[in-house]
């Protein structure tokens, strides 16, 4: 006859195992851009690592820095700021910690993008980020309705009144400066000079308010405007244009004649993150050959692996090829590291534009 006492002992042992398993399970808290953590990819990751639960908070560059600054780098285990948002934020707010590159399979990464991010994010000999996805900002155009558009300034051309759009963020400030024949990155070293330049840019964009139909806030909003024909040209991320290309091949990304603005979104570890090992597992997982196309398909951007464009889904790859010639790639303007105080200037400039009345 089975001993009841033995049954309780066995049951107790099983409960102990289950409780230990639960205690060992951890949450990987991602602070990332929309579309950078597709449900399918999370499902595949959690299947491979059943002891890790992925929790996602979607954000943008400004919010990422603000959230981590408010907590001293706590609350998240892996963040994805752009390459130009790390050096100064770390020097000023101490919100990140160095990465252990030995825990990342660097062999799969594009060597130039890796070198660029390392150069931008190395502080006192320590590297604070590695690249994830890259792309550009420029102009999206319905080529059947505005085939001659090729400059940031064309978005403010009277002939397109009520048919253009832009996002009131720093990209349009920089693009407008380049269209005026100025190099905003060259002015980064002197905040007084930069403020004067932003004042000039503000005047241009305030005058443009009478031309612009609306200011988009999210990629889905802009997509709806372009597909409906309400807007025929807009400042945009190239990835948004690539996604629309498969639905309407007349909608193409146009690198501005002064050069598309290029960004690299990265992986960075918040200073008080609690799941570093899980973070490294996520980084290596999403850079695998079978995962890369899923990432590009969802985001529309190019994953920073070797031959990243070739690894995109066919429709996205064709959209990139339709947008860029070799000379356009050579003319890219990569965002420069943002010095302390510069974003305050840009923020006030944007507020001034927002508050101004269209003439």
**pLDDT one-digit tens code per residue, 96-108:** 999 999 999 999 9
The SS3 of residue 127 is strand
d(CA 92, CA 66): 12
Q: Given a cut of 60, is residue 4 above it in pLDDT?
A: no
**pLDDT one-digit tens code per residue, 305-325:** 999 999 999 999 999 998 999
d(CA 172, CA 80): 22
Q: 232 and 348: one domain?
A: yes
Q: 291 and 234: one domain?
A: no
Can you give the residue range of the structural domain that contains 187? 135-262+333-355
CATH number of the domain bearing residue 154:
3.40.190.10
Of 181 and 358, the structure prediction assigns the larger pLDDT to: 181
Instruction: Give the per-residue pLDDT at 246.
Output: 86
Instruction: Give the per-residue pLDDT at 12.
Output: 52
d(CA 129, CA 279): 12
In angstroms, the Cα distances linking 141 to 162, 165, 218, 248 are 14, 11, 17, 11
**pLDDT one-digit tens code per residue, 27-40:** 999 999 989 999 99
Q: 141 and 184: one domain?
A: yes
Q: Given a cut of 90, is residue 2 above it in pLDDT?
A: no
Q: 112 and 156: one domain?
A: no
Q: 15 and 73: one domain?
A: yes
**Gyration radius (Cα) of the chain, Å:** 23
Q: 126 and 35: one domain?
A: yes
* Domain tally, the chain: 2
d(CA 175, CA 190): 19
pTM of the model: 0.81
d(CA 172, CA 354): 13
Mean pLDDT of the chain: 92
322 belongs to a structural domain: no
275 belongs to a structural domain: yes
**pLDDT one-digit tens code per residue, 117-128:** 999 999 999 999
Q: 72 and 172: one domain?
A: no
Q: 200 and 340: one domain?
A: yes
**pLDDT one-digit tens code per residue, 190-247:** 999 999 999 999 999 999 999 999 999 888 899 999 999 999 999 999 999 999 998 9
CB atoms within 10 A of CB 29: 21
**pLDDT one-digit tens code per residue, 259-289:** 999 999 999 999 999 999 999 999 999 999 9
Q: 217 and 340: one domain?
A: yes
Partner residues linked to 270 by β-bridges? 96
CB 122 within 8 A of CB 128: yes
**Residue 80's pLDDT band (cuts 50, 70, 90):** very high
The label of the residue with tokens 């807007």 reads: 231
Q: 230 and 211: one domain?
A: yes
Q: 225 and 347: one domain?
A: yes
Q: What's the whole-number mean pLDDT along residues 154-183?
A: 97
């Amino acid at each position: 006859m089975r001993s009841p006492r033995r049954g309780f002992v066995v049951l107790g042992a099983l409960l102990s195992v289950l409780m230990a398993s639960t205690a060992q399970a951890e949450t990987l808290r991602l602070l990332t851009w929309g579309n950078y953590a597709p449900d399918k990819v999370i499902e595949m990751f959690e299947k491979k690592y059943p002891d890790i639960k992925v929790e996602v908070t979607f954000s943008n560059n400004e919010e990422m820095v603000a959230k981590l600054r408010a907590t001293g780098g706590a609350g998240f285990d892996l963040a994805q700021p752009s390459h130009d948002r790390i050096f100064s934020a770390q020097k000023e707010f101490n919100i990140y910690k160095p990465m252990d590159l030995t825990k990342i399979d660097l062999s799969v990464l594009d060597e130039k993008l890796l070198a660029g991010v390392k150069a931008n994010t190395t502080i006192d000999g320590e590297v604070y980020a590695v690249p994830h996805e890259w792309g550009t900002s420029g102009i999206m155009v319905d080529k059947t309705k505005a085939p001659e558009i090729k400059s940031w300034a064309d978005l403010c051309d009277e002939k397109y009144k009520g048919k253009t759009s832009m996002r009131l963020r720093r990209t349009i400030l920089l693009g407008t400066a380049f269209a005026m024949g100025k190099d905003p990155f060259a002015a980064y070293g002197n905040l007084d000079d930069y403020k004067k330049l932003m004042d000039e840019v503000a005047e241009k964009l305030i005058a443009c308010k009478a031309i612009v139909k609306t200011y988009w806030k999210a990629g889905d909003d802009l997509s709806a405007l372009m597909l409906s024909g309400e807007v025929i040209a807009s400042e945009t991320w190239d990835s948004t244009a690539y996604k629309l290309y498969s639905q309407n091949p007349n909608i193409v990304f146009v690198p501005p004649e002064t050069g598309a603005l290029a960004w690299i979104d990265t992986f960075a570890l918040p200073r008080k993150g609690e799941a570093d090992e899980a973070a490294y597992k996520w980084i290596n997982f999403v850079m695998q050959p079978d995962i890369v196309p899923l990432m590009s398909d969802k985001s529309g951007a190019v994953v920073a692996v070797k031959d990243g464009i070739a690894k995109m889904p066919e429709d996205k790859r064709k959209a990139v090829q339709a947008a860029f010639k070799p000379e356009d790639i050579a003319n890219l303007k990569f965002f420069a590291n943002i010095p302390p105080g510069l974003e305050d200037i840009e923020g006030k400039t944007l507020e001034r534009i927002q508050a101004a009345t269209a003439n």
